[in-house]
Structure 1
Amino acid sequence: MITNTEVKQNLYTSLKELGLTESEANLYLTSLTLGSVTIVSLAEHLSMPRPNVYKVIAGLEKHGLTKFSERKKQSRTFVVEPPTVVLELLRRKREAMASLDQTLVGSMPDLLALYHQGETPTKIKVYEGEDQWNKIFFKVLDEAKDKIDFFGSADAFIGLISWETELEWIRLRTSKNIHMNSLLTPGADAATLVQNDKLQMRTTRIFQGTLPFVTGFMLYANKVIIWQPKAPLAVLVEDEYIVAMLRSIFAALWTQSA
């Protein structure tokens, strides 16, 4: 059973989430316990000078947790709004934050496009649809130098583009003398690729993760592409710090899968 102390602590946390200062939260809790009380009595309980109490009350009024200034002069005892008002204010704030969060998520591609990091400007571009997917897939070969690292599901990837497209891409890659390190989740297509590693200038290792997934990322030059075949969409990121982080993650998983 929850104790009175825990109830007060939960209410205090909620008040702080609403933006109340420590003094405002403490005054609210004290007044809630005392009920309707004079300012003199409230000041004594809080060990606070009366001018300061009035300042804190003004803060509570701004948060909608008391209507002290509206009370008649002859009955200026102080009382706070009930905890149900705190709950309603908290719900409104969380709804507003959830709405803002959705708006921010929807604007993230545009915001990221404005973001700059490191020595060179960060560039982010989203490719949607199968045609755009294939376009950026083959463009990788125009920009890659001597190596491409891939981590993800070959079965999901090839299931989208077809084996015919995959083999054409491999042919072009080998003609450019670009080696491929592939860290793949288990699957039939992954097993087929393993069998042809030497012929196709590729080193493949199987990642034994605990949860299946269909996405993947490809590292080349100073860029990374995050592949999501279900939409399908591909997110191209050119950022030295993001690429360095993903190279470190890839290297660690590559070593673990040896």
Structure 2
Amino acid sequence: MLHELHYPILKELGLTETEAVIYEVLLEQGPKPAKDLVIPSGLSRGNVYNAVTALAKKGLATEKQGQKTIFEAAPPSQLAVLLDREQAKLKQISTSFKSVLPQLSQEFSFSTGKPVIQMFSGFEGAEKAIMDTLESGQEIMTYLDVGAMLPEISKMNAKYLKRRIDKQINKRIIVEDSPAARRFFADQNTPFTEVRFIQNFPGGFQTSMQIYANTVLYLTMNPDNQISVIIRDQHIFDMHKAHFDYLWNYAARLTNEDAGSKAT
């Protein structure tokens, strides 16, 4: 009869059923030759040898040579290595999922004709939303209310800007032509960024709009109600891109007195 597993967490940490059983038996009975693990484990001799060999490779059992080869369980603290591996694996899966989600959502939208909408709240949600603009690697078009930039948004933007430059993603930004906006962009020289100013452009909307990869992101900068909304829809994207390109052609370029740009 197969040994009853007392600690199912061993399997959750990544051990197979037979590895978990043999590890438990070694813990309970101490160092043993592999053949002496057959009866207490309820496993065949072949499965026992495979399990102790696998445990030794994972650093969870030691092998002592002599007249008989003796196997001993490693201290349970070694199981933390398995936990670290599982966490690293989950982190890698999470990163891969986030990178492919925009493409999956886009295919869903194209095949069904339905927009994909995601909502986030708080500054942590805003960071997740704004980082989405970098996943496709395509150009980003932005409307920005410079006067509404919050300290939290500015800190988030520094991390975002570094990643965008590392990925060499171009961004075009339209802002109102005001002394405050000019000062905001003065004395900065950010690559892959172009800013243009529009006179009498309505300000005070406390929102940033990002247009990219068949997607539109609305990011509010109201500290009392910070929300972010991602809409993946071809028609909405096309409309906003057309409006942006139209305004871009009429917007004023940076002058020699202005130097570069840096913004969300």
- TM value normalised by structure 1: 0.48
Q: Give the structure with the higher percent strand.
A: 2
Q: Give the structure with the higher percent helix.
A: 1
- Higher gyration radius (CA): 1
- TM value normalised by structure 2: 0.47
